Amino acid sequence: MNTLKTWMLMTILTVFIVLIGTLFGRGGATIALVVAVAMNGFSYFFSDQVALAMSGAKPVTEREAPTLYAAVRHLSTRAGLPMPRVLIAPSQQPNAFATGRNPKNAAVVVNQGLLDILTERELTGVLAHEMSHIRHHDILVATVAATLAGAITWLAHMLQWGLYFGMGNDRRNQNVFADLVVIILAPIAAAMIQMAISRSREYKADAGAAHLTRDPDALADALAKLGHTSRFGTSNRSAYETPSTAAAAFAHLYIVNPLRGQTLAGLFSTHPPTEERIRRLRLMRIA
């Protein structure tokens, strides 16, 4: 199913880019098709590297993070998965995500802020959530969606600058309205792509984590802490970091939404309410 979703996303991107290209004539459409094919190939093979670069995550050794490594190894063994790469991002915002084309080249990224506030039991719950994403093969479609959403937003910005500097003056009077529609709708299309795949999969990953650890309250307690921190921050930092629009395209990869509760968060909102996720976990009874 997720493979089908990936191809659907790539098709959407191709159609969208070609439509933009047609605004510049037949030659523009041809160039747009070449660009779309190149972007699709890049997103499939290298989207995980883009996600890691966006987060600033660095690989760590078992000696550097023994507790983190032990938890990931234990969970991967229980889930019957290969040991993923383990990375720590320097961000002080407590968060985590998984990425990769498949379980064989998966990576788990944990922000330093998460390690600073969670107990070992709560950390295991969060890692189990990310391992569930890997187990359910969510990570390919999620990472590709992030890359494609970023590409759509980037294209809208390029078109906007083209209008500012007189690109296509010979057809501006006829097509300026179409250009403005693309500029307005491209970020919305990016957000819709993300929202279409994200909300239900978070509930599924939460349930998967509960069964993997046999301790649904561990993840519920972690989410309660993350939800509180996302609203109020800590004594020495704000509740949110302000990402670029490109980085915002990757927001749905994280276990909780990393964006501010303003324009970007509204546009790229991809997560179900944390309170509802906690409620469902509290009601779970694992035999």
For residue 277, the number of C-alpha atoms closer than 13 Å in the C-beta half-sphere is 31
The pLDDT, as a whole number, for residue 221 is: 97
Instruction: Report the mean per-residue pLDDT for the chain.
Output: 79
The residue among 112, 183, 134, 140 whose CA lies nearest residue 47 is 140
Residue 41 exposed, middle or buried by CB count within 10 Å (0-12, 13-18, 19+)? exposed
Among 65-79, 170-184, 211-225, 244-258, the range scoring the smallest mean pLDDT is: 170-184
Task: Clarify whether 130 is annotated catalytic.
Answer: yes
The pLDDT, as a whole number, for residue 230 is: 60
Give the best-scoring range by mean pLDDT among 35-39, 47-51, 131-135, 248-252. 131-135
pLDDT digits (tens, 9 = 90+) for 63-117: 999 999 999 999 999 999 999 999 999 999 999 999 988 899 999 999 999 999 9
The pLDDT, as a whole number, for residue 79 is: 95
Confidence category of residue 137, pLDDT binned at 50, 70, 90: confident
The pLDDT, as a whole number, for residue 26 is: 73
Asked if pLDDT for residue 134 goes beyond 50, the answer is yes
Q: Beta 96-99 vs 107-111: how paired, if at all?
A: antiparallel
Confidence category of residue 283, pLDDT binned at 50, 70, 90: very high
| 240 close to 259: Cβ distance less than 8 angstroms | yes
The pLDDT, as a whole number, for residue 37 is: 81
Asked if pLDDT for residue 45 goes beyond 90, the answer is no
The pLDDT, as a whole number, for residue 29 is: 75
Dist. CA 40–CA 36, nearest whole Å: 6
Q: For the chain, give the DSSP string.
A: -HHHHHHHHHHHHHHHHHHHHHTT-HHHHHHHHHHHHHHHHHHHHHHHHHHHHHHT-EE--TTT-HHHHHHHHHHHHHHT-PPPEEEEE--SS--EEEE-SSGGG-EEEEEHHHHHH--HHHHHHHHHHHHHHHHTTHHHHHHHHHHHHHHHHHHHHHHHHHHHTTTTGGGHHHHHHHHHHHHHHHHHHHHHHHHHHHHHHHHHHHHHHHHHHT-HHHHHHHHHHHHHHHHH-BTTB-S-----HHHHTTGGGBSS--S-TTHHHHHT--S--HHHHHHHHHH----
Among 9-13, 63-67, 244-248, 267-271, the range scoring the smallest mean pLDDT is: 244-248
| 69 close to 200: Cβ distance less than 8 angstroms | no
| 52 close to 59: Cβ distance less than 8 angstroms | no
Dist. CA 125–CA 238, nearest whole Å: 25
Question: Which residues are known binding-site members for Zn(2+)?
Answer: 129, 133, 202
The residue among 81, 149, 108 whose CA lies nearest residue 254 is 108
The residue among 258, 191, 204 whose CA lies nearest residue 231 is 258
Asked if pLDDT for residue 258 goes beyond 80, the answer is yes
Active-site hit among 130, 241, 275, 276: 130
- Average pLDDT rounded to a whole number, residues 11-34: 74
Asked if pLDDT for residue 38 goes beyond 90, the answer is no
pTM of the full structure = 0.77
For residue 40, the number of C-alpha atoms closer than 13 Å in the C-beta half-sphere is 19
Confidence category of residue 197, pLDDT binned at 50, 70, 90: low
Residue bearing the bigger pLDDT, 110 or 169: 110
Q: Is the dihedral of CA 98, 99, 100, 101 positive or negative?
A: positive
Q: What are phi and psi of 100, to 5 degrees?
A: 130, 160
